[in-house]
Structure 1
Amino acid sequence: MLPNSPALHYQAYQAVADLTTPMRSAARFLAPWLHHSLFWLPHSRALRKAAAACEVLALSGLTHHRPPFNIDTVDTPSGTCAVTEETVFRTPFCSLLRFRKTPACGTEPKVLLVAPVSGHFATLLRGTVQTLLQDHDVYVTDWHNVRDIPLSEGAFDLDTFIEHIIRFVDWLGPHTHLVAVCQPTVPTLAAVAVMAEDQHPHQPRSMTLMAGPIDCRINPTEVNNLATAKPMEWFESKLIGVVPLRYKGGMRRVYPGFLQISAFMSMNLDRHKESFRKMYGHYVEGDTVKAHGIKEFYDEYLAMMDLPAEFYLQTVRKVFQEYQLPRGVLEYRGRLVKPEAIRRTALFTVEGERDDICSIGQTLAAHDLCSKLAPYRKQHHLQASVGHYGVFNGKRWEHQIYPRIRDFIHAFDE
């Protein structure tokens, strides 16, 4: 059990992690030997059970470093292209990644995929990137883990997020298209509104907002209800910790990754237990393909980064409790954000029928906010039979949602 003082949460977690790391490392080392090296006992069920136990034990802890994207090739209409990941712009808080295709596929629309700052790394959008690469020149916001960012670099709040989007779009130039997934739909819409009001010469050609909390007053989900059930003082006193001094971001106030993943998993604890049980069973039965599929998911799912306290608390208050954007009172650097100023950037919104995080209508609300945008510049798609994750990953994303986004982007790229 963690101590009551939130300042000690992180220290207690780190102590437990340090104690268990040798055991998990040993299990990670032994598993492949038990799977492959003892070839003179290929059908030993006992060895398969030992290997399966090692796989489960090795996966039982968190990691705090971004996994690789591992996107080496992509199939395009012109054939298979090699893909090289490169950093083209960098701030203390984020690297702007480009996935360069070789050979180049002509002049393709530039797409900036805005990843969430929500605990998981940008690699959670690996499938989204892979699909977008078929027809676009893709860039991704690769947010850094703030526990590795010194306090001297300053704070990261909602204004800083909006500023990053504006800076990246300005750097990319006037023919950029934005695609935002979940939480960053709010700062993305705000950034485009600010650029529109300033008559910025590099206003995006289009923005696609996917499964995001534009107006959480509409069809509130359990996540929305949890955010409004407690006062802000509760979130600050119970969920905010301090990064240990051993890290570059020592003494930075954060919403720790281990608390986030605890909250995520507790919402579907039985399902996660069943997944680990199935993974163990698949290894024991020798079905390594199914076992590796589950393992790969949790390798990604259990890679967590800390959220800056100021960003997390502002998001809870401004987006989920006070609904500042749809109420017309959200500010950026002391100035009112005015979505009605958007006239040039086309808007596409996507929602999932079974989304239990951002329900039907919450993202669609962006259309009413962009009241001066011509009707032909607005489109909406409600995807049947998908939950939150299925909006941007999986077969329905690839075959039903993506083609609509692709056609929309290309229609406004001229």
Structure 2
Amino acid sequence: MLYKTYELQRSLLNAGSAWASILADMLADRRYPPANLGWGQMASSALEVFAHAAAPRGKPAFGIHTITLGETEHAVEETTVVTRPFGDLKRFSHSGLPDDAPRLLIVAPMSGHYATLLRGTVERMLETNVVYITDWADAKLVPLDKGTFDLDDYIDYIVGFLEHIGPGAHMMAVCQPSVPALAATAIMGKVDHPCRPLTLTMMGGPIDTREAPTQVNTMAVGRPHVWFDHNVIATVPINYPGAGRKVYPGFIQLASFMSMNLGSHMMSHWGLFKHLVEGDEDGADATKAFYDEYRAVCDMSAEFYLQTVDVVFQRHALPKGEFIHRGTPVDLSDITDTAILTIEGERDDISGIGQTRAALKLTPNLPDAMKRYLLAEEVGHYGIFNGSRWRSRIAPVVDEWIAAHARVPARKRLAAVN
């Protein structure tokens, strides 16, 4: 009933958005008398804010068409190089990169948003790297006959994608995938896998949520595991390809994130209203662009969500040495030659200070020279991987880290993943 109720509400809001948009245009058209009155522009702006907030949203495009290096503009090539039921592997490159440019796998979070949330991350790292990114699927669009997808599968996908990229690649995990990326690195390190990453950069990740727990962490441990199963898991309705699949709906995750900072979101929309009234199109477009991405959400498979809550947030299995993958314990001491950079934001309200840095303590067999920690001052969770501070203060550190460990070991290239 949860999903069906949401779909009914969504259809009503879609109609309301369409009518609000029509009325907003009419009230802003000088051919109509109300547009020439003082209240006409204000009413038009208010209706436009509502229309934008209630409008339906699908999967956004990355839309990275060019990269400018110095005074030269280069066309960006975007291709999907691996296609799998629950996630594809995308590749970004351009002609300005040298033949031996580093290859970087960015592991996007599967946390309710599309990989396009990392558009700014991809765009900045593309200046110096051939960039690959995990493009996770919306679970409601994956038919039931494609099977299930849990945390073990997530790790297998990471390993498979690294195998496709080949030896000598680097990896970056943003937020939630820090745990499976670190686990995958240990699994590959244990068997001297030729495609294990040269470096692993983890940004705002919940490696050990016992360190400086945030509101998100408190909510996860404040309820028994069965509560999540009974209260936030829904069944995909019949109008989607994944009908019958159990999922954690993206609209619940969005509501959760919005409620955490409701005041700031209200102020942002008040700012949008003022921009529209004042005729500041650039300011209005910037706010709209952010919320177009922020409100574009997708569903997670129930098994992945529930296993993540249990293993990462409630049992803290990885830092306690109790993490199991396919029946085999994951030992972080097996990481011996993948250089690790951990990055945290001083104002991160999702992953507290120390949660990502914990990875450096949990890898005892990795030399200290291959470990580094960066605390980004005055940066919140989103600012770690997007925005001006990311581009000017954080990304250069990642560039330096990759360059410092850009050796190419003699590892046999494996066959590409199908």
- TM above 0.5, yes or no, is yes
Equivalent-residue separation in structure 2 for 1:162 and 1:138 (angstroms): 19
Answering whether residue 385 of structure 2 is matched by residue 396 of structure 1, we say no
2:148 counterpart letter in structure 1? A
TM-aligned CA distance change 1:332 to 1:50, over 3 Å: same
Q: Which piece of structure 1 moves more, 265-274 or 159-168?
A: 265-274
Equivalent-residue separation in structure 1 for 2:31 and 2:185 (angstroms): 59
Quote the residue 1:184 is aligned against.
177
SS of 2:319 mapped into structure 1: helix
Aligned partners of 1:64 and 1:305 also within 8 Å? no
Aligned partners of 1:176 and 1:204 also within 8 Å? yes
Give the CA deviation at 1:61. 2.9
Equivalent-residue separation in structure 1 for 2:306 and 2:57 (angstroms): 21
TM-aligned CA distance change 1:166 to 1:294, over 3 Å: same
Answering whether residue 410 of structure 2 is matched by residue 381 of structure 1, we say no
Aligned ranges 1:129-168 → 2 under 5 Å: 129-168=122-161
1:354 aligned residue (347, 353, 375) = 347
TM-aligned CA distance change 1:61 to 1:265, over 3 Å: same
Aligned ranges 1:312-323 → 2 under 5 Å: 312-323=305-316
Unaligned runs of at least 5 residues, structure 2: 408-418
Equivalent-residue separation in structure 2 for 1:39 and 1:124 (angstroms): 40
Aligned partners of 2:97 and 2:129 also within 8 Å? no
Quote the residue 2:228 is aligned against.
235
1:296 counterpart letter in structure 2? A
Aligned ranges 1:357-376 → 2 under 5 Å: 357-376=350-369
SS of 2:164 mapped into structure 1: helix
Aligned ranges 1:9-408 → 2 under 5 Å: 9-28=2-21, 45-61=38-54, 63=56, 65-76=58-69, 79-408=72-401
Give the CA deviation at 1:84. 2.3
TM-aligned CA distance change 1:285 to 1:350, over 3 Å: same
Q: Deviations over 1:41-71 (max 9, x none)?
A: 9976544334323321222236452111121
Aligned partners of 1:31 and 1:55 also within 8 Å? yes
Q: Deviations over 1:177-224 (max 9, x none)?
A: 000000000000011111111211111111100110000111111111
Equivalent-residue separation in structure 2 for 1:191 and 1:267 (angstroms): 31
Quote the residue 1:4 is aligned against.
none
Aligned partners of 1:177 and 1:204 also within 8 Å? yes
1:322 counterpart letter in structure 2? R
Give the CA deviation at 1:368. 1.4
TM-aligned CA distance change 1:37 to 1:192, over 3 Å: farther
SS of 1:324 mapped into structure 2: coil
TM-aligned CA distance change 1:124 to 1:97, over 3 Å: same
Aligned partners of 1:45 and 1:284 also within 8 Å? no
Q: Deviations over 1:290-323 (max 9, x none)?
A: 1111111111111010111111111111000100
Quote the residue 1:5 is aligned against.
none
2:140 counterpart letter in structure 1? R
SS of 2:77 mapped into structure 1: strand
TM-aligned CA distance change 1:330 to 1:31, over 3 Å: same
Aligned partners of 1:48 and 1:286 also within 8 Å? no
TM-aligned CA distance change 1:29 to 1:177, over 3 Å: farther
Q: Deviations over 1:1-39 (max 9, x none)?
A: xxxxxxx10000101112231231344466567668969
Q: Which piece of structure 1 moves more, 91-100 or 29-38?
A: 29-38
Equivalent-residue separation in structure 1 for 2:89 and 2:55 (angstroms): 25
The count of residues paired between Structure 1 and Structure 2 equals 407
Aligned partners of 1:329 and 1:336 also within 8 Å? yes
Aligned partners of 1:76 and 1:135 also within 8 Å? no
Quote the residue 1:3 is aligned against.
none
Aligned partners of 1:77 and 1:134 also within 8 Å? no
Equivalent-residue separation in structure 2 for 1:352 and 1:29 (angstroms): 42
TM-score of the superposition, structure 2-length normalised? Answer: 0.93
- Identity within the alignment, %: 43
TM-score of the superposition, structure 1-length normalised? Answer: 0.93
SS of 1:59 mapped into structure 2: helix
Aligned partners of 2:275 and 2:284 also within 8 Å? yes
Unaligned runs of at least 5 residues, structure 1: 1-7
SS of 2:67 mapped into structure 1: strand
SS of 2:42 mapped into structure 1: helix
Aligned-pair Cα RMSD in Å = 2.0
Aligned partners of 1:343 and 1:372 also within 8 Å? yes
